[in-house]
Homo-oligomer: A and B are copies of this chain.
């Protein structure tokens, strides 16, 4: 077994989910990640924790949903399993990322609704989502498997305590700031974050991670922004997205093609036109776009904004975060940009001023 797989498992168990003796551990994975599952079983055995692995498969789920008509309630055996688990490790892996492509949207959303109480439970668990490199995700990234493995494990196998400490500087600056001002080519946008709660994301719930994020006040965005990287919407790429905000709301938009998809996103609900997240990526091991948001949004020297709901714990006490059924991230490269907090520059041309 590749030594990096063992290291990946150790990081998930020791750092991300802090597994201890007697923990009931639930692993969710496609069998193509079998080597990582076996490496996890080794670490969990050493800890004296008890694993169950449930099988996720796009092919099986697609077959199921194509044949599953009508209403669906929350499956209580799945609910009970999650309820009694202390730790949940979800591994993104599959033989075919697109295998769910033929499932009608309403069946997916029927299933999502039925599973909502289960996913909600994750909030109270030590849980982490990670990725095991397969040919399928390498293909999505346009890379060979060997190059993609180097990319993934380069981003995962890091000193996460050091990442945490470095990000604390940024988190503290955001926590004491009120106005965020982002400028750059075709970009001049102001947001308010006063009283909101910036989060230092250093490899707990996401592995890899490497970002600090915060919920902006939903009615604060003013100005315009160009996103240099494609927005990914239901597996499709929308390039050159430009948004114009007034009183927090998107009042104008454009894109290089597929504008109708962008429009339909914005029309999902009231909150789909407002921002739920400002994130700042710090993971410089992630140096390219791979069409996977677990990696893309953590890219070093970038920021991202999300249309849609705010992550609850990034909203300050007594404050209101944005609400919506959607949450779609859009990435901006900061190589030619600047970010100021209350008028003071903190990021210039992608670098933090204290670097």
Residues of A within 8 A of B (CB): 22, 24, 26, 29, 31, 34, 37-38, 41-46, 48, 50-55, 57, 59-61, 63-70, 72-73, 75-81, 83-85
Contacts and interface: CB of A to CB of B under 8 A. Distances in A.
Contact of A81 (B44, B45, B77): B77
A109 B59 CA distance: 36
Contacts of A79: 84
Chain A: interface secondary structure?
A: helix
B55 A75 contact: no
Contacts of A80: 80-81, 83-84
User: Which 9 pairs from chain A and chain B are nearest by CB?
Assistant: A45-B67, A31-B31, A50-B75, A80-B80, A77-B84, A45-B68, A53-B55, A41-B64, A24-B77
A63 B42 contact: yes
Contacts of A43: 67
23 contacts: A24-B77, A31-B34, A38-B57, A38-B59, A38-B63, A41-B64, A42-B67, A43-B67, A45-B63, A45-B64, A45-B66, A48-B70, A50-B78, A52-B75, A53-B55, A53-B60, A54-B54, A55-B55, A76-B84, A79-B84, A80-B81, A80-B83, A81-B84
Given A55-B53, A55-B55, A61 B41 contact: yes
A37 B51 contact: no
Contacts of A68: 45-46, 48
A32 to B, nearest CB: 9
Contact of A45 (B34, B42, B65): B65
Nearest to A26: B77
Contacts of A81: 52, 77, 80-81, 84
A73 B48 CA distance: 10
Given A45-B63, A69-B48, A55 B54 contact: yes
Nearest to A67: B45
Contact of A54 (B52, B59, B63, B70): B52
Given A80-B80, A80-B81, A84-B80, A31 B51 contact: no
Given A31-B55, A52-B54, A60 B76 contact: no
A20 to B, nearest CB: 14
Contacts of A61: 41
Contacts of A50: 72, 75, 77-78
A69 B48 CA distance: 7
Contacts of A73: 22
A31 B79 CA distance: 23
B64 A51 contact: yes
A78 B50 CA distance: 9
Contacts of A63: 38, 41-42, 45
Contacts of A24: 75-77
A300 B52 CA distance: 38
A29 B46 CA distance: 24
Given A52-B81, A76-B84, 17 more contacts: A24-B76, A26-B77, A41-B60, A45-B63, A45-B66, A46-B67, A48-B68, A50-B75, A51-B64, A52-B77, A53-B54, A54-B54, A54-B55, A77-B85, A79-B84, A80-B84, A81-B84
Nearest to A32: B31
A52 B78 contact: yes
Contacts of A44: 64
